[in-house]
Structure 1
Amino acid sequence: MPKLKFSAARGAPFYATLRERVDAYFQTRQLSRHANGAMWAKTGFFLTSFVVLYGLVVFGPFDPGTRLALAGLLGACNAFIGFNVCHDALHGAFSANPRVNRALGLLFNLLGANPYVWTLTHNLVHHTYTNIPGHDEDIEVAPGLLRLSPEEPWRPWQRYQHLYAFPLYGLASLSWVLRKDYVKFFQAQIGQHAARHPRREYVNLFAYKALYFVLFLLVPWAVLPLSWGPVLVGFVALHLVEGVVMGLVFQLAHVVEGTAFPAADASGTMPEAWAAHQLRTTANFAPRSAAAAFFCGGLNRQIEHHLFPRVCHVHYPALAPIVRETAREFGLPYLENPSFGAALRSHYRLLRGLSRPGAGETGDRRRLPVVPA
């Protein structure tokens, strides 16, 4: 398989123009591209919530049902920390100081995931090869069980994937903790990149995983008057909630009606420049929802995030009109679902459409959530 490259001829002027306009936005207003006071306040809120919820689950005087519900809330809080704090930090977007980004990125270990592996699979691979089958590992969710692109081969049991996909997303977080990080770390390559890792990352992988299991399994077992069974039930409940929240937010940005799954030509060249490719493979959802902006950490504005991943997500609402207008000028799409519910329904319809053998060709994908500028 030839190494992929993006066309330099089609769509390149769009990104040059867009960057000039975004640069001008920050310069004329004398704004930093990184976190502002509101972002730091939100970070404090989520980290405080984590500490309080963890304390209530482990040390609170509650009955098992209440404790289980609190464990689920802690799982949701973990996902929100990942979206709002770790995601920006690992992109280098939270702070202009790399040490601050590294420190906040380490919080990813509290979600049970390895920040180094995430940087490779998400920042390097997904952000480069978005929605390209066989290259973007973010659309390879439960390979063989879910068909998320038209190019994937159809299997008989996928006829029901629109029914079992959502519970399956709940296993995503458990997979990170127990399997995915190890598999990715020790495979020969990640995407098109050879997997040669610094020695310290091997130490970090096992040391932080051990710390995670101490905090979320050993400490509850040692402190609570519970046997291993209820502790494991709480652990699984936490991750099921965390996995569903994470899975839905990521899927609603790339696997909805109207998003493309482009393929390269025989030489490995994609049909358009990288930035134009991002517009065709990415969709926003609930762009005017204050709740989505607060909890999703800007991931409801994935278009702006994919084009400017090193800009803190608190600036995305201001950048959106610039991106939308510039896309319109260059004849490029700006895909957007108006609400979380609309995006969820679109994702469900796409799953159902791809559950049929032979489905997924252009003619089958009629609903295009293109937002007019």
Structure 2
Amino acid sequence: MTSPGPTPSASTPAVDTGRSPGTGAEPPIPEDRPAQQRHVNGYVALVHAVDEHGLLRRRHGYYGIRAAATIAAFVAVMASVVLIGDSWWQLVPAAVLGVVSTQFGFLGHDLAHRQVFNSARANVWSARVVAGLFTGLSYTWWMGKHNAHHRSPNQEERDPDIGPGVLAFTPAAAAPRTGLAAWLTRRQGWAFFPLLTLEGVALHVVSVQTLLRDRTRTHRWLELTFIAIRLGGYAALLLSLLPVGKAAAAAGLHLAVFGVLLGGSFAPNHKGMPIVPATMEVDFLHRQVVMSRNISGGRLVEFMMGGLNRQIEHHLFPSMPRPNLARAAPLVRAYCAEHGIPYTETSLIRSYGIVVRYLNAVGLAERDPFQCPLVRRYRA
């Protein structure tokens, strides 16, 4: 659904805002790294410039309207399910529910990053309710994973989003595979989009598994109750109105649309960008900008991606409210141009092409297919 600074506990929301030095926003800089120190100082100056424009202030009205509209859409979908009854037309509200669930996912993401309320507690509990009751996911599981990603985007052994799994996101993950696994990995770029249709199921499964297995997670039974109400309630509603076959088709379509939209919103932001070796030290500004990619495309893309198309600004200022990210982009772009920092932005279609080519290149065991330009400057 991340941030510099110390790892928060499972019960803590997202990340530091990076508003001032000493808050955990910037990593420690060795004395022999004056270039990195300059970039840390530059980041602090950039934060001050953003703050002067009021871009770190909360946007309560924006989020109030968005939350109300999303909840109203959810209620309307559920009402339409009841009104339609036993019919294959149930596939229409099922697909719409996939879109609405994705919007709840984005809203939960913003709450977890403390973008909505001034109170950390209000953000945490609202994120927990939205994630569990409206999306069917675990807040605490997602936050642990997402924070680790924000601290070290695209860094081997640190970013869970490029860790070993069905897809190999790094040559090191692809190299040991043999037999059928190796054959599939060599073609994994073409399997990426079909696999996204299963992402919704995978997210629900891992949420429940994590909460059941890890007894140290706070409020795990409450989150399990929320998830049971959301998923069990929807299944019970469908089965009370439809034969098993139609109910399964509706639920499957909902999960497929949810998986494609949510997974398709996160993938273009980092996949195919430079991979950072596990032992390499990079200053915070470069770490967040160079490893991230913005997606152009206007309001439709911004809506469908939940503001994550402004990934560079989001990584630099995790607690910045979503509608302010576009206003921050010119400031960040100008700073990067002035200081020679690569700032990447492309269209959604081109970004997906990059992802497919990158995954296929990794699957063919090409070493460092997108080598990080910072390796030579900041190799540990």
Smaller-chain TM-score bracket: 0.7 to 0.9
By how many angstroms is 1:7 displaced? 6.4
**1:20-99 map, 5 Å:** 20-27=45-52, 29=53, 33-57=57-81, 59-61=82-84, 64-83=87-106, 85-99=107-121
2:178 — aligned with what?
Answer: none
Deviation at 1:187, TM superposition (A): 6.4
User: Match for residue 363 of structure 2?
Assistant: 355
Q: Does 1:255 align with 2:271?
A: yes
Contact in 2 for aligned 1:14/1:330 (Cα 8 Å): no
Show the counterpart of 2:217: 197
Cα–Cα, structure 1 residues 20 and 47, in superposed 2: closer, same or farther, change >3 Å?
farther
**Aligned residues, how many?**
338
- In structure 2, the partner of 1:191 is none
Shift of the 139–115 alpha-carbon distance from structure 1 to 2, 3 Å rule, reads same
How far the C-alpha of 1:62 sits from its partner, in A, is 5.5
| Partner SS state of residue 173, structure 2 | coil
- What is the Cα deviation at residue 103 of structure 1? 4.3
For the pair 1:284 / 2:287, whether they are aligned, the reply is: no
Q: Which residue of 2 aligns with 1:119?
A: 143
Contact preservation (8 Å) 2:70, 2:104: yes
Instruction: Identify which of 90, 93, 102 aligns with 2:124.
Output: 102
> Partner of 2:250 in structure 1?
234
Q: Does structure 2 retain, via aligned residues, the 8 Å contact 1:130–1:281?
A: yes
Question: Are the aligned partners of 2:56 and 2:319 in contact in 1 as well (CA < 8 Å)?
Answer: no
**Secondary structure of the equivalent of 1:315?**
helix
Asked if 1:131 corresponds to 2:167, the answer is no
| TM-score normalised over the length of structure 1 | 0.82
Provide the secondary structure at the position in 1 that maps to 2:151.
coil
Task: Verify the 8 A CA contact 2:58 2:116 in the aligned structure 1.
Answer: yes
Q: Flag the 1:12–1:127 CA change in 2: closer, same or farther, 3 A.
A: farther
The alpha-carbon deviation at position 14 of structure 1 amounts to: 2.7
Structure 2 distance, partners of 1:251, 1:151, is 20
For the residue of structure 2 that corresponds to 1:117, the secondary structure is: helix
What are the superposed Cα offsets for residues 314-361 of structure 1, whole Å, 9 maximum, x if unpaired?
100111111112223333211111x21121222122122223133543
Cα pair distance change 1:31/1:252, threshold 3 Å: closer
Q: Does 2:332 correspond to 1:314?
A: no
The aligned counterpart of 1:207 is: 225
**Percentage identity across paired residues of the two chains:** 23
2:153/2:288 contact within 8 Å kept: yes
**What secondary structure, in the 3-state scheme, does the structure 2 residue paired with 1:87 have?**
helix
Task: Find the partner of 2:201 among 174, 181, 186.
Answer: 174
Task: Please report how far the alpha carbon of residue 295 of structure 1 lies from its aligned counterpart in structure 2 after TM superposition.
Answer: 3.0
C-alpha distance in 2, partners of 1:11/1:320? 22
Q: 1:221 to 1:74 in 2, by over 3 A?
A: same
Are the equivalent residues in 1 in contact too, given 2:111–2:126 (CA < 8 A)?
yes
Pair 1:220–1:299, CA change in 2 (3 A):
same
CA distance in 2, matches of 1:186, 1:13: 46
Q: Secondary structure at the match of 1:67?
A: helix
Q: Distance in 2 between matches of 1:68 and 1:229?
A: 12
Q: 1:166 to 1:185 in 2, by over 3 A?
A: same
* Unaligned segments of structure 1, at least 5 residues: 189-194, 367-373
CA distance 1:215–1:12, shift in 2 (3 Å): farther
| Alpha carbons of structure 1 residues 11 and 66: separation in structure 2 relative to 1, 3 Å | farther
Corresponding position: 1:216 with 2:234: yes
Q: What secondary structure is seen at the aligned counterpart in 2 of 1:291?
A: helix
| Cα pair 1:18 1:322 within 8 Å, conserved | no
**2:163 equivalent to 1:150:** no
In 2, Cα distance between the equivalents of 1:260 and 1:30? 32
Q: Distance in 2 between matches of 1:12 and 1:47?
A: 46
Q: Is this contact kept in 1: 2:156–2:278, CA < 8 A?
A: no
| Cα pair 2:154 2:275 within 8 Å, conserved | yes
CA RMSD of aligned residues (A): 2.7
Residues 6 and 271 in structure 1, CA contact (< 8 A), matched pair in contact too: no
- Runs of 5+ in structure 2 lacking a partner? 1-5, 8-25, 176-181, 374-380
The answer to which of 59-68 and 304-313 deviates more is 59-68
- Whether the aligned pair in 1 keeps the contact of 2:293 and 2:345 (CA below 8 Å) is yes
Residue 16 to residue 35, structure 1, CA distance change in 2 (3 Å): farther
Question: What SS does the aligned partner of 2:59 have?
Answer: coil
Between 66-75 and 4-13, the greater mean CA deviation after superposition: 4-13
Q: Deviations over 1:72-92 (max 9, x none)?
A: 111121112212x11110111
